[in-house]
Amino acid sequence: MENIQHRFGAYIKIHWKTIVFLGVVLITIGLLDQFVDSYIRRLLNLCAIYTIISLGMNLVNGFTGQFSLGQAGFMAVGAYTVAIFTVPIEARATIFYLAPMTPLLANIQLPFIVALLLGGLVSAGFAFLIGGPCLRLRGDYLAIATLGFSEIIRIVFTNTQTITNGALGIKSIPTITSLWWTYGIAIIIIVLMILLINSSYGRAFKSIREDEIAAEAMGVGLFKTKMTSFMIGAFFTGIGGGLFAALLGTVDPKQFYFTLTYNFLLIIVLGGLGSISGTVIASFVVTLGQEWLRFLDEPMAFGLDLPIFRPGLRMVVFSALLMVVVLFYRKGLMGTNELTWDFIGKKIKVIKSKFNRKKSASQGGDNK
């Protein structure tokens, strides 16, 4: 008993800054949840969801070094699972007016959290099926196969009228409005990621990214390890997709066009392939930035009728940004580093010493 108390005390002593920080974050979420309007609320919810999905992608692409482009597909799987299992039974007849829902599913309704977890699991199941043929090969066919998967799943969902309501999509999904759902789950997933990455499994992931041949020579089973990472990534993405469905209240195949994946690619490249904190920061920067850049699509952006401002410009800027980052800032914001207290301390020291050097240099100049 005493031992436990002692250990707990020691834990607090080491991590007090983190605990304070977490407290501040929770209070901020609580305050925001009370006071923001629905537009900001939706945007903040989206930031948290994009964080979750980008973490799933970074686990595979950044930490394990496998190039997967299936985020939109895995999201769709999670989103549709939540949609199908949470839409109120009495509303189903009106939604599925072209063809009634298959009797197998028509009368099943699950609590949101169960449907959400199920969405993650189904998504991981799909990852297992794609990973089987693709992860065995050295090479980059995974990128094509996952991109293909996200297109096929869209085609499938458009054609399975009695399950997904085809191109019409599913409306009237019970929505979540509180920030606690998305942020609660985002925080849980961030913590799980940190724990996973700093475990023996996380090191095995990173060893594959660094050097597959050496990793294999050290006894790391490549296929099994890659598959584990790929499935966990898909699980997180499926959860993110489920939250996405519950945020918007409606899903249809067009939402999950594969270009959606490029959003997340930009996020993880900007944040740093292989950095959890970088991913979190970049998720907010990109999501909010995209919203802020909306004026680019407005013809009357500055009160003048400038011909360059018209729909589409925002996406051009956005994709050019991806190019700029990968060509000139290949490591992104964080590289493979994490924003730990040590890291911040070191950065501050570097800045201070630079500042001091400048100061002494300018003083030296004065003396001459």
Return the residues of window 307-366 that contact another protein according to CB under 8 A: 310-313, 315-316, 318-320, 322-323, 326-327, 330, 336
For residues 347 and 228, give the distance between their C-alpha atoms in angstroms, rounded to a whole number.
Answer: 35
- Could you write out the DSSP letters of every residue in 66-132? -----HHHHHHHHHHHHHHHHS-GGGHHHHT-SSPPPHHHHT----HHHHHHHHHHHHHHHHHHHHH
Query: Minimum distance from CB of 285 to another protein (Å)?
Result: 17
**Site track 39-78 with another protein (rule: CB under 8 A), x = hit:** ----------------------x---x-x-x---------
Angstrom distances, CA of residue 185 to CA of 127, 212, 348:
21, 33, 32
Residue with smaller CB distance to another protein, 270 or 280 = 270
Q: Please, are residues 208 and 222 in contact by the beta-carbon 8 Å criterion? A: yes
Q: Per rule CB under 8 A, is residue 286 in the interface with another protein?
A: no
Taking alpha carbons only, the member of 252, 207, 205 closest to residue 225 is 205
CB of 303 to another protein, least distance (A): 22
Closer to another protein by Cβ: residue 42 or 206: 206
Select from 36, 112, 121, 148 the one that contacts another protein (CB under 8 A). 148
Q: Which residue is listed with tokens 């293909």?
A: 148
- Within 195-254, the residues that bind another protein by CB under 8 A are 195-196, 199-201, 203-204, 206-207, 209-211, 213-222, 228, 232
Q: How far is the CB of 262 from another protein (least distance, A)?
A: 5
CA neighbor of 315 nearest in space, from 230, 257, 241 = 257
Q: Does 192 bind another protein (CB under 8 A)?
A: yes
Of the pair 36, 339, the CB lying nearest another protein is at 339
CB of 10 to another protein, least distance (A): 15
Helices (H) and strands (E) in the chain, counts: 16, 0
Cα–Cα dist 131/64, whole Å: 14
3-state helix vs strand vs coil in the chain, percent to 5: 75, 0, 25
Rounded CA separation 237/70 (Å) = 10
Span interacting with another protein, options 34-42, 52-60, 188-196, 247-255, rule CB under 8 A: 188-196
Query: At closest approach, how far in Å is the CB of 293 from another protein?
Result: 13
Cβ proximity to another protein, 15 vs 357, nearer residue: 15
Shortest gap between Cβ of 233 and another protein (angstroms)? 12
Closest to another protein by CB, 198 vs 353, is 198
